[in-house]
Amino acid sequence: MTTPALPTQPKIEELESIRGLAALLIVFVHIPKWNPILEIGIISNGYLMVDLFFVLSGFVMFSVYSKKIKSKTDLFRFQFLRFGRLYPVHIVFLLIFLGIEISKYIAVAKLGTPDIRSVPFGENSVTALMQQVFLLQAIGPTGNILTFNFPAWSISVEFYTYLLFGLTILLLGKIKNAVFGLLALVAVLLLATKTTFGFEVLLRCIAGFFIGCLSAGFIDRARINISTYMPLLFAFAIIAFLQIKTTNDFDVAIFFLTAGLILSLMLSGGGILKQILNNKILTWLGLISYSMYMSHALVLWITKNIFKRLLDMPETQRADGKWVLSLPVPEAIAGTIFTVLLVLAVSQITYSFIEKPLREKSRRFAFSKLM
């Protein structure tokens, strides 16, 4: 008896490449500024690439699922698929960081190691661990956002935004676009006025995700063609915005710039940017982008300890109390290259042995058992 083929989701390679480049930029954001030469605007402001993720995610989810969630079973299958996409990689790296925390505790409490600067299970508390397990670490003002594998904060808000998306389609399908527009508008206004009541990161996800949904809905109805140079203009606009901005007062602009980039790519017949984004290296970056995003904090912990403990590199204490390695220019550049290459290698391993096989298992279960 043969196993029936699973439904496949069409991929838009250009968007996957954008996701990969955004994930790579976030890696650069989190590499410590070992030398002032690394203080570059596009890197310092690259945290906004997470907001770009949210817009991309909303666009893809609407394109694939806006007409498929018609029953409670469909909703449950959709949410289970999202769980299978996000959670396996998350739990693996959470367990690794839990192991690191346990090792720190043993080193301090049992072995008397004196030079561990962070208190074991201090910031990474049991409460933070439970929030991580249930993806609640970024929901509301009581969350412990930057604990354990800190990049996981974004999948916390994204998972529950998926649920809001699915419920809206199921219960309010006829007016879903109006609801998505209202959610996006309210979230953008609260973010722009800094009236977030401790829910800033959740609002960032809601704003970006539902602007992405609205963009996909517009594509469904649009019957226009635009210049093939428009995607390049939006790409340069995003790069310029990241390079020159000095405050976070206009961060909400990234939602609209990203939507413009996506719309221009979809509505133009081709162009230089599409050709560039279909390069095999960039599409590979898109393929491993989630693993890259989720694994790079561990790689940064490894490289920090290599430089500090094995190579005995000097550290300086910043104004915020954190200690950072202080390296000459050649060592800082070499360390950055080494870190990026190690992130890419670990990401490929994570994708091949954790993300891809477990996602496929969850899909097989969803389409064979959840009928």
Most confident of 112-116, 286-290, 326-330: 286-290
Q: How far apart are CA 371 and CA 360, in angstroms?
A: 17
Distance set, CA 29 to CA 3, 268, 273, 359 (Å): 44, 31, 24, 28
Which among 234, 228, 233, 239 is positioned nearest to 274, based on CA atoms?
228
- Residues 181, 155, 5, 1, CA torsion sign: negative
In this prediction, residues 51-57 reach a mean pLDDT of 98
Amino acid at 121: F
Q: What is the dihedral of CA 156, 188, 79, 356, to 10 degrees?
A: -60
**Could you tell me which of 154, 267, 247, 261 has the C-alpha nearest to residue 209?**
154
Query: Is the pLDDT confidence value at 22 over 70?
Result: yes
- CA–CA separation, 259 vs 154, rounded Å? 19
Calculate the alpha carbon distances from 17 to 21, 103, 214, 240 in Å. Answer: 6, 38, 21, 19
Percent of the chain predicted with pLDDT > 90:
72
Pick the more confident residue, 11 or 132: 132
To the nearest whole number, what is the mean pLDDT of the chain? 91
Query: Residue range 97-115: average pLDDT?
Result: 81
The pLDDT value recorded for residue 320 is 66
| 108 has a pLDDT exceeding 50 | yes
H-only helix segments in 134-227: 153-171, 176-192, 200-221
pLDDT tens column, 249-298 = 999 999 999 999 999 999 987 689 999 999 999 999 999 999 999 999 99
Residue in 84, 201, 184, 187 with CA at minimum distance from that of residue 145: 201
Q: Is the pLDDT of residue 100 over 50?
A: yes
For the whole model, what pTM was predicted? 0.93
Q: Rounded distance, CA 160 to CA 349, Å? A: 28
Distance CA 47, CA 45 (A): 5
Query: What secondary structure does DSSP assign to 249-261, as a single string?
Result: TTTTHHHHHHHHH
Nearest Cα residue to 69 out of 57, 59, 87, 81: 81
The neighbouring-strand residues paired with 323 are 317
Q: Is 325 helix (H, G, I), strand (E, B) or coil?
A: strand
DSSP-derived letter for residue 116 is -
pLDDT of residue 255: 98
pLDDT over 80 at 116, yes or no: no
Both tokens assigned to 272: 């230089």
| Exposure of 127 in the CB half-sphere (CA atoms within 13 A) | 8
Q: Is the pLDDT of residue 301 over 80?
A: yes
Residues present in the chain in total? 371
| pLDDT band, very low/low/confident/very high, at 322 (cuts 50, 70, 90) | confident
What is the Cα–Cα distance from 218 to 224, expressed in whole angstroms?
11
Contact 285, 20 (CB under 8 A): yes
Quote the longest CA-to-CA distance of the chain.
70
**The pLDDT value given to residue 244:** 95
Our measurement of the distance from residue 192's CA atom to the centroid of its chain's CA atoms, rounded to an integer in Å, reads 21
User: Which residue has better confidence, 163 or 140?
Assistant: 163
For residue 112, give the 3-state DSSP assignment. Answer: coil
What is the pLDDT at residue 237? 97
**3-state DSSP call for residue 284?**
helix
